[in-house]
Amino acid sequence: MPNLEQNSDTFLQQLDDLMLPASLEEAFEAYRFDLLRKVCESQNENQLSWYLHEINQLHADAEPAPSFSETFDPFLRLHHGTSHCPPSTLIVLPPLPSTIVRGGIILPSALLGIVEGDIFALGSRLEMYEEAEVNMLARIATAALVDQRDFSDRKSAIEYIATNASQKLKQSLLSDQSFWSSVPRRQVEFPDMVSERRKQLASCDLFNPPLSENELECFADEEIREQTRDIRVMALSPKIRHLSFCRSCLNKFARWQTDLARFHQLAENSSSGRYNA
């Protein structure tokens, strides 16, 4: 069982970070989370909060983004059914706003004015920042966007950050996709995050005793059907701890419980004669 001396909120947060992905979207987001965490781990919380504050000041009239992952969203909020696809190692994403702007697409002058205004505003806000600090903010942006972009100078880094953080630009692109219909979509390959998370769970110290190899494996459909019939059977399962970190199995158990409850309701209605003519 979990180490009970740990703060429960901390334990649950750590467990959330290690959940086995149940869909392509979750697998990609797990990879993105790991990239972003790796880049940010060298910075303290105050510094990261200040970086995010500077980005949010570009849109002072809008609700501030709570995290870099939301500020730099590679999906452009267009998930294209990836939440319903099984976990994989390849995902197709919309082109980045910075790619659209740099790609020779003819944008309305008003939209170009927004982009140029955001670039100028961010450049002014970062004027007193050291080169290393601007580079760090650019690295955070590329990690959140899962992009391989490198920057040769301060100017290109600021342009990239401001363009991909611009809320008004993203809103315009979402409202009229003809701006980017001719730009190739991104194909991003990434590791098997189900396997990666299993490795991390096997070596983490959240569980005492440590998880066994059997507990790391998902329930077979037959096991789920058998154990859904009686909660006591599920509670006594040697794999019960698996449900604490596998959303896919949790969803399957929930579906079977719903179907079983519906079956019992239909049987009760039939036996009571409600469906008799």
State the average pLDDT over residues 50-60: 89
What residues are paired with 20 via a beta bridge?
A: 246
Query: Quick one: which H or E segment has residue 145?
Result: helix 131-145
* Residue 250, number of CB atoms within 10 A of its CB: 17
Would you give the distance in Å from CA 181 to the centre of its chain? Answer: 25
Q: pLDDT-derived band of residue 168, with 50, 70 and 90 as boundaries?
A: confident
> Does residue 169 contact residue 114 with C-beta atoms inside 8 Å?
yes
> Does residue 61 contact residue 123 with C-beta atoms inside 8 Å?
no
Q: pLDDT-derived band of residue 277, with 50, 70 and 90 as boundaries?
A: very low
Q: CA-CA distance, 190 to 91, in Å (whole number)? A: 8
Residue 169's Cβ-count burial label (10 Å; 0-12, 13-18, 19+) is buried
What percent of the chain lies above the pLDDT cut of 90? 56
The identity of residue 150, as a single letter, is D
Q: Between these two residues, 3 and 97, which has the higher pLDDT value?
A: 97
pLDDT at 88 over 60: yes
Half-sphere exposure of 14 (CA within 13 A, CB side): 14
Tell me, what DSSP letter sits at residue 2?
B
Q: Tell me if residue 218 falls in helix, strand or coil.
A: coil
3-state secondary structure 72-133: CCCCCCCCCCHHHCCCCCEEEECCCHHHHHHCCCCCCHHHHHHHHHHHHHHHHHCCCCCHHH
| pLDDT, tens digit (0-9, with 9 covering 90-100), for 102-139 | 876 777 888 889 899 999 999 999 999 999 999 999 99
Q: Taking the model in full, what pTM does it have?
A: 0.85
- Mean pLDDT score of the chain, rounded to an integer? 87
Q: CA-CA distance, 158 to 119, in Å (whole number)? A: 7
Q: pLDDT-derived band of residue 18, with 50, 70 and 90 as boundaries?
A: very high
What residues are paired with 187 via a beta bridge?
A: 92
The dihedral formed by the CA atoms of 98, 100, 105 and 107, expressed in degrees to the nearest 10? -70
Give the list of residues 6+ apart from residue 99 with CB closer than 8 angstroms, or none: 183
The identity of residue 268, as a single letter, is E
Q: CA-CA distance, 155 to 117, in Å (whole number)? A: 14
Which pLDDT belongs to residue 273? 58
